Chain A
Amino acid sequence: MIETGAIFEALSTVLTPYMMLWLVTGVVIGIVVGAIPGVGSVLGMSIVLPLTIPFGGTEANILLISIFSGAMYGSSISAIILRVPGTAAAAATLLDGYPITERGEPRYALALSAVSSALGGSLTMILLFLLIPFLTPLVLLFGSPQIFLVSIFGILMIGMIASQGSFVKGFTAGMFGILIMTIGLAPATPGTRFTLDSMLLYNGLDFVVILIGMFAIGEMLRASDVKATDLTDVTNGGSVFEGIRTSIKNYYLLIKSGLIGMGIGAIPGAGSSASNFFSYAEAVRSSSNPEEFGTGKAEGVIAAEASNNGTVAGSIMPVIAFGVPGSAATAVLLAGFILHGITPGPDLFGDQLDFTYSLIFALLLGNVLILFAGLTIVPYVGQYISNLRMDVIIPVVVVLSTIGAYTMRTNWIDLLTIFVFGVMAYYMYRYDYSVIAMVIGAVLASVIEVNLNRTLVLGDWSPIIFLESPVSIAIIVIMGSFILLPFLQNRS
């Protein structure tokens, strides 16, 4: 049943000048960070997160989710203009977007991207809005045992997908993320652990600080030799109107790609980097002229862009429903929830349903902003944003990360934390260990510890309680299948 009270409350929250300001700010930041190769939504959200501390949960999370959505579109700008995607989410966009630029029509490609992103994102948000009443009974089936299991499952799956090397690498990274958070005050039982009798470690390590270290400092170390691309050959031509017309004419492809993006986004670990290729591959497969893809075909841009913005709706589903992020960006979003005292799960479908609807409405409005900016401003200034030099960005990001980390608790241990985890992230990237699994392990550590404790107390310290519910058994069976997948694949 649709909760009209919560819907009206959410609308009255979002449609205020104050909230619109946060929304516009978020979308603009998102487009800018998305358009700069090597920056992207995760870094942008990570460094903005500490700044949201003085503000309320709704505005803070609307800001974060708007950055996420704006960056999905923003990443296409550099893919189209420079042949370098802002993030992996726009990797498939460049395949046809850049050849259009080479033809001298970047404005046409940017318009295709803006319309596809906005319509793909809006369509999937409307679908998510309609799905909320059906998700509610499913979410209410989840108690402590199921939340514990699904959290572990999320980390395992992300570790498996994100670690390009092996399952054990992803698994170990995720478990290490949980382990480092056992330092300090124990969340489920009275007392502290591993503090070395120092007050600096009394509250343990802060997952937001770890996240800043790994996603911001680690990325800057990794990106330190990225050079700006020469813009001298870019001709700023093409018709914006023609881009709008072509996108709307391909409405079936646009809807299909948006839905593919949403479906893949809901799978932990898959995300926009996978969905844009899936949609692109499907567009090639279903086309009557597949040989034209890769030469500047509009359908290639439409498929990739509609799907990556559709991913946003899919990827926030597991976060709001179960508190399990499916990607690095949603891990930062979950950190934003926890930082502002918002508990994902049944609460977001009950007492705090208006908050959930607020996020959906904000994202819907955000897509309108993306459309407006994408058709009016970006075609004229996009190339200058995308060509910001990494050697100029690095000191700004380092300073923002440092002050952001210190802001969390004014604890000097946090400066050491960002440095150590930044260097660690650099090596983890280098050897294909999943940084995302480790961060998600750290973010979910207290949820896992509290729910495991609660489950064991409920079950009189017997693990049999995990086999007493069909939902738990289903999660265990699915988890077992994923763990056994490497064995089965290698045998076949």
Chain B
Amino acid sequence: MIQAVEKRLGLEGGEIGLLAAMWLFSATLLVASFSYDGYTAYFPQFFAALVIIGTTMLLFRNYLPEPLYSFTAESVTVLDEGDVSDEVLEGETNIDDGMTAESDTDRGLPLELTGMIGGYLVLSFFIGILWATPVFVGLYSHRQDHPLRLTLLLIALTFGLVLLFLFMVNIPADVGYIHEMLGVA
């Protein structure tokens, strides 16, 4: 099913998902905005309409007639950095906003790290960021095969950083939803 959509649109699944999410979000806001009056409604309506037009053009860009296809899909050079950047850099490195040649975005989303970050945020909500931090850092460090000393150092460092925020900015980083439920927050 997904492969059929990818083939039909001529786009990768990740890009289709990104555009579809933006389209759905904008469409939802556009529909919901009709329950407001005047400028409160016009402003989101205007920008939601622009995003819907943009995402629709991008999703179906391979079906657009020629002038529109070029406008939507082809790159434009505003600043020509000269021939040096392409020629001299060729074979040297692959630079894209600070990333190195070894950072390869052609692979998929790093699911393990994404899952661990998601899990850390959920755990933080339930037990508080302070207590969730050693769990996340310990698990991450274990999965990276770090030596025990480095794992302990990272746990101590990140725990200390959260404590620093807790005392400096006085935020309730040591309590979560469970504490509130138990009435100990």
Binding site for B on A (CB under 8 A): 37-40, 42, 50-51, 53-54, 75, 83-88, 91-92, 94-95, 157, 160-161, 164-169, 171-172, 175-176, 178-180, 182-183, 186, 188-189, 191, 193-194, 217, 219-227, 264, 267, 269-270, 273-274, 277-278, 280-281, 284-285, 293-294, 328, 391-392, 394-396, 398-400, 402-404, 406-407, 410, 412, 415-416, 418-419, 422-424, 426-431, 433, 449, 452-453, 456, 482, 485-487, 489-490
Contact = CB atoms under 8 A, between A and B. Distances in A.
Interface string B69-93: 0111111111101111100110011
A161 B14 contact: no
Given A277-B82, A392-B154, A51 B165 contact: yes
B36 A191 contact: yes
Contact of B18 (A415, A427, A452): A427
B95 interface: yes
A407 B103 contact: no
A112 B35 CA distance: 62
Nearest to A399: B158
Given A157-B78, A423-B114, 18 more contacts: A37-B99, A37-B100, A50-B169, A91-B89, A164-B75, A166-B73, A175-B50, A176-B26, A182-B43, A188-B39, A222-B99, A277-B81, A277-B82, A396-B157, A402-B124, A422-B117, A430-B105, A487-B67
A328 B105 CA distance: 20
A274 B105 CA distance: 22
Contacts of B103: 38, 222-223, 225-226
A338 B99 CA distance: 29
Nearest to A482: B78
B9 interface: no
A270 to B, nearest CB: 6
Contacts of A191: 36, 40
B136 interface: yes
16 contacts: A85-B100, A86-B98, A166-B72, A175-B50, A222-B103, A224-B113, A264-B79, A274-B81, A278-B82, A395-B158, A399-B136, A424-B18, A426-B105, A426-B109, A486-B76, A489-B77
Contact of A490 (B36, B44, B74, B150): B74
A176 B75 CA distance: 20
Contacts of B14: 427, 430-431
Given A85-B93, A281-B82, A399-B137, A407 B171 contact: yes
A118 to B, nearest CB: 22
Contacts of B154: 392, 395-396
A167 B76 contact: yes
B101 A449 contact: no
B33 A193 contact: yes
Given A88-B98, A221-B114, A193 B93 contact: no
A217 B110 CA distance: 12
A239 to B, nearest CB: 26
Contact of B95 (A85, A169, A453, A486): A85
A391 B89 contact: no
B55 A167 contact: no
Q: How would you classify the secondary structure of chain A's contact residues: helix, strand, loop or mixed?
A: helix
A226 B96 CA distance: 13
B169 to A, nearest CB: 5
Nearest to A163: B75
A40 B98 contact: yes
A419 B171 contact: no
How big is chain B's contact interface, by range?
35 or more
A285 B48 CA distance: 47
Contact of B125 (A164, A278, A412): A412
B54 A225 contact: no
B38 A193 contact: no
A179 B92 contact: no
Nearest to A410: B171
The 9 closest A-B pairs by CB, nearest first: A172-B54, A281-B82, A87-B98, A182-B44, A277-B81, A281-B84, A399-B158, A490-B70, A486-B76
B127 interface: no
A331 to B, nearest CB: 13
A29 to B, nearest CB: 14
Nearest to A36: B98
B128 to A, nearest CB: 10
A452 B38 CA distance: 13
Contacts of A92: 84-85
B99 to A, nearest CB: 6
B150 to A, nearest CB: 7
Interface in B11-54: 12, 14-15, 17-18, 21-22, 25-26, 29, 32-33, 36, 38-40, 43-44, 47-48, 50-51, 54
Nearest to A223: B103
A485 B76 contact: yes
Contacts of B99: 37-38, 222-223, 226
A277 B44 contact: no
A416 B121 contact: yes
B57 A168 contact: yes
A179 B47 contact: yes
A430 B103 CA distance: 11
Given A164-B75, A168-B58, A225-B102, A403 B81 contact: no
A486 B68 CA distance: 10
Max chain A C-beta neighbours (<10 A), residue from B33, B107, B124, B172:
B124
Nearest to B97: A88
A32 B47 CA distance: 40
Contacts of A407: 165, 169, 171
B146 interface: yes
B168 A193 contact: no
